[in-house]
Amino acid sequence: MRSAGFLSERQRDIAWLGFLLSAVQAPIAARLMHDASWLFAVVVAVLVATVILADDAQRRRPETEAEAE
């Protein structure tokens, strides 16, 4: 059996949605705003992407015998 990550499937879907919305919002805000507030959307997208990558790494880690029992 494959080891589970720390995010449930629903949380993972919501994280992907948040990442995509934030990644799309950043260039739109950069075009419309004349200040650097769009950088916040970039930071949020990077943080959410880091969580998704960490969850992927944990899911792909081979299962040890202790976790199997």
Q: What is the pLDDT along the chain (69 residues), one digit of tens a residue?
A: 456 889 999 999 999 999 999 999 999 999 998 898 889 999 999 999 999 999 999 999 887 655 666
Question: What pLDDT does residue 68 have?
Answer: 61
From the list 14, 19, 17, the residue with the least C-alpha distance to 44 is: 19
Question: What pLDDT does residue 4 have?
Answer: 83
Contact 39, 69 (CB under 8 A): no
Determine how many CB atoms are found less than 10 A away from the CB of residue 39: 12
Query: What is the distance of C-alpha 56 from the center of its chain?
Result: 10
Structure tokens at 60: 């792909």
Question: What pLDDT does residue 5 have?
Answer: 86
Question: What pLDDT does residue 63 have?
Answer: 74
Question: What pLDDT does residue 23 have?
Answer: 92
61 three-state secondary structure: coil
